[in-house]
Structure 1
Amino acid sequence: MTFRLASAAALVALLFSSCATDSDLTVLSKARANRSSGTYSTGNSFGPVGVYTTSQPSPVLAQQAAGKPKDKHGMPFYKASERTRLVRTTAYTCSEDDHIEYGSMNAAGTPLRYTDRVRSAAADWAVYPVGTVFRIKGMPQLFVVDDYGSALTGTGTVDIYTPSKQYMGAWGRRNVELTVVQWGSYARSAEILAKRTHFPHCAQMYAAINRMTSGQTAATASR
């Protein structure tokens, strides 16, 4: 497991260093969705709708989850040290009514990504701070948290970005085995959210991050 995480971390560094110039890391936007054929094309075909394949989570994860605190969906919360976890996932796309005003941009202010190597995801930034990179068991891609959503606040749910409503429906809602490869930045999350606290969900995430980081600072100071 240590070797696998180290290898994935090296791939993360490569991806983020090359995203700005690598021509095959094409940003997918709603304007380019081919809804009539059920495929999504950016010059390369992403195949027919319904191709998402994830592996069943380990039964051990379900057993471990039993005694953990739960969110409103009955899914467990984890400590940061627990990188492999049982997670409820949903899917979204930028052509949904509640996202259409933002187009193909994420909450971090950069383009949403959907390639064969790296894809965007949304989460509560107090649970998965912006920049968090993870894998889903059974899928080859890396996912990066660069977005959030009001329905995700206060939960451990991760929302997977998809390029169209057909792809969103193909993902549906599923519980997966998720492994955090690299944690994002609570400081960066707080910096972004501080300017958006007039939105209740942003205020809630911002307050949660401040409580968490204040607690960590107090614990360090008491040693």
Structure 2
Amino acid sequence: MKEFRSLIFIALAAIGAIVLSSCGTTTSHVLPAYEPPLARSDFQTVRTTAYTHTESDHLQFTNHNALGGELQAAGPPIHRADNSRVPSGFEGDYRIASYTPAPQPFSMNDEEPRTRPAVSKATPASMTTTRTVKIVRGKRVVVRAKPQPPKIGSAAADWSRWPVGTTFRLLSTGQIYRVDDYGWALAGRNTIDLYMATPAEMNAWGARQEPIQILRWGERDEALRFLAPHQDYKHIRRMVLELQGNEEAAARLQ
């Protein structure tokens, strides 16, 4: 019986060592090479990669992010977003998005309903309302659709560079993501990892330089409060050091 208990203890210890080493608590797992942070700006060009919850290094966390919530895939691409300043009255609300109406079929029949381009109108809640104007028998008929906020996807990043809650838009697709996760390979790196629902979508994205627009910056103090109790893990310790303004120590940490 004692031998059986000893075998169980050894097995559990081995499993624990594997899990902890993946989190960076052993000296054999070296942190990625440190990169100086990008300049803080509402418009940045960032190295992006993609991940999904079925990858081997994420299986233990299932489909949950660092905050304990479920990982979310972004909505479908909208269009190439305009590289412009946030409109006045936006106030950092991530829910505003622009939509391009689809081309309308040409017709010589005046009796056939025709649809004019959609007009986006921001409500007090900064939602996007689509108003469609149709011409039926020479009369204008206005049809208003219910406000539809864009679906926000999950993203993982170094929280000392993009604090938890940072919300941004990919300018190439118009999709919106929010930082709610982090990872070992992202600590001290200028990389944002975008969550994808399937391995096929992850592989299709690959790795690419992507211009982004920050819609809302997360709070550094909030990120520090969340990370500070978990500094036994080296990647978290590196983020904490940088949040505390000690970039040299963060760079030296291996």
Q: Which TM-score bucket, shorter chain as reference? A: 0.5 to 0.7
In structure 1, the partner of 2:196 is: 162
Q: Distance in 2 between matches of 1:139 and 1:73?
A: 29
Identical pairs, percent: 36
TM-score (norm 2): 0.52
Q: Confirm or deny that 1:146 pairs with 2:180.
A: yes
Query: Is the Cα–Cα contact under 8 Å of residues 108 and 130 in structure 1 kept in the other structure?
Result: no
Write the letter of the residue equivalent to 1:176: E
Q: Distance in 2 between matches of 1:115 and 1:181?
A: 15
* Shift, 1:186, TM fit: 1.0
| 1:110 aligned counterpart, secondary structure | coil
Write the letter of the residue equivalent to 2:39: K
Q: Distance in 2 between matches of 1:73 and 1:159?
A: 17
Query: Is the Cα–Cα contact under 8 Å of residues 120 and 146 in structure 1 kept in the other structure?
Result: yes
Q: Distance in 2 between matches of 1:138 and 1:169?
A: 18
Runs of 4+ in 1 over 4 A off after TM superposition: 71-74
Q: What is the Cα-based RMSD across aligned positions, in Å?
A: 2.1
> For structure 1, which segment, 194-203 or 109-118, has the greater mean C-alpha deviation from structure 2 after superposition?
109-118
| 2:204 aligned counterpart, secondary structure | helix
Query: Is the Cα–Cα contact under 8 Å of residues 172 and 210 in structure 2 kept in the other structure?
Result: no
Write the letter of the residue equivalent to 1:193: L
Q: Deviations over 1:77-119 (max 9, x none)?
A: 4332x21111100000111111111111101221111142210
Q: Which consecutive unaligned segments of at least 5 residues does structure 2 have? A: 1-31, 76-150, 247-254
* Shift, 1:73, TM fit: 9.1
| 2:163 aligned counterpart, secondary structure | coil
In structure 1, the partner of 2:39 is: 79
* Shift, 1:72, TM fit: 5.4
Q: Distance in 1 between matches of 2:231 and 2:222?
A: 15
* Shift, 1:164, TM fit: 1.7
Question: Which residue of 239, 243, 246 corresponds with 1:209?
Answer: 243
Query: Is the Cα–Cα contact under 8 Å of residues 126 and 186 in structure 1 kept in the other structure?
Result: yes
In structure 2, the partner of 1:93 is: 52
Cα distance, 1:85–1:188 mapped onto 2, change above 3 Å = same
Please tell me whether Structure 1 or Structure 2 has the larger radius of gyration of its CA atoms: 2
Q: Confirm or deny that 1:179 pairs with 2:138.
A: no
More strand by share: 2
